[in-house]
A and B are shown apart, each in its own frame.
Chain A
Amino acid sequence: MALITRLLLCVLLLWPVLAQAAVDVREFDDPVTEQRYRDLTATLRCPKCQNQAIGDSDSPIAGDMRERVYRQLQAGRSDKEILDFMVNRFGDYVLYNPRLEGRTLLLWGLPAGLALLGALVVVLMVRARRRTSARDLSAEERARLDALIKRERTE
C-alpha cells in the first residue's frame, strides 16, 4: 500500500515535467531573439482554436506557425515582416493587438471617444449644479432659513 502511494506521489510530482516535454525546444543565438520569439508567439492568435495564442496551443496549425516564426527569426526578419507574413495568410484574426488603420479606427477610437463624452457630461452637470446653488435666495426663502437656524439654536 505504502509503495503504491509512493509511486502515485512520484507520478504526480513528475507530471508537470512530463507535460512540459510537449513544448518544442528551440535554440537561439541570443536572448533578444528568444524574447522576440516569446513575444511573437504570445501575440499571434491561433486560427483554429478559440482565444489561445499560438504559444499556448497544441493544435497542429499553431505548431506550424511557431515553426515559421522561428525560421523567420533565424533568417533575420523583423517583427513587422513576420506579422505581415501571418496576416497575409490568416487575416487580421491572428493579431491579438489589432493595428491602427482606417477599418479599426472605431475600435481604437470608441473607448477614448466615450471617455471624452463622459468627461464632458460630468463637466456640464457640475456646472449646471453650481449655477443653481449660486443663485440668491428669495426673500421668502431667506426668512424660512433664518427661522430654521434660529429654531436650531434655541433647541
Chain B
Amino acid sequence: MKRRLLLLLPLVGFLVLSAFLYMGLSINPFERHSALMARDFPAFELTTLEDPERVVDASLLEGEVTLVNVWGEWCPTCKQEMPQLLDLAERGVRLVGVDYKDTREKGRGFLGEFGNPFEVNIFDPEGSLGFDLGVYGAPETFLVDRDGIIRYHHTGYIKPEDVREKILPEVAKWR
C-alpha cells in the first residue's frame, strides 16, 4: 500500500508545478516593488518648472510627508490622473511634481490645461532624476516621509478608487 502511494509522487509534483506556473500567468510584471523602497530619495539638483532660476535638491522633500508624482506632457495617462491628484491636494496631501523629459513650455501648458495640484514642479528635461528613481514610464508616484525616505511606490495610473483605498491610507500611515 505504501509503495502504491509513492507512485502518486510524480503527480503531486506535477500539480504543485502547475499551480506555481498558473499563478505566474496572473502576475502583473509591472506591479513589482521599487528598488528604492525604504531608501533615501536620490540626490538631485535641478531647477523648477515654474522658475528656471530656482534650484532645488532633495531637502525640498524633508519635513513633511510628500507625494512625488512623475509626469510629462507627452504622457496621456498623466492627463487622466490629474483629477485624482487634484483630489489628493484638496484633501491636504503635499504634492511635488517631476516634469519628466518635457519642455518648459509644454509642461506649463499641461498644468494650465489640466490644473496644478503641485506645490512645486521639479523640471527634469533629461530624465536624470527619473532614471535615478528607476522610473521606466510615466506616471509613477512615490510617497516620501518627513525624513526624505521613500515609503510607497505606485506604478502607472492612479485610479479614482486608489485615492481612498491605497494612497490616503499610506499617507496617514507615515504622517
Contacts and interface: CB of A to CB of B under 8 A. Distances in A.
B91 to A, nearest CB: 31
7 contacts: A61-B135, A61-B137, A87-B35, A88-B35, A89-B35, A89-B36, A91-B33
B115 interface: no
Contact of A93 (B32, B101, B131): B32
Contact of B35 (A50, A61, A91): A91
Contacts, number: 31
Interface residues of A, number: 15
A26 B90 CA distance: 49
Interface of B: 29, 32-36, 101, 127, 131-137
Contact of B136 (A68, A90, A92): A90
Given A47-B136, A48-B136, A48-B137, A64 B32 contact: no
A90 B137 contact: no
Interface in A51-106: 59-61, 64, 68, 87-93
B102 to A, nearest CB: 13
Given A50-B29, A91-B33, 11 more contacts: A48-B136, A48-B137, A61-B135, A87-B35, A89-B36, A90-B136, A91-B34, A91-B35, A91-B134, A92-B35, A93-B32
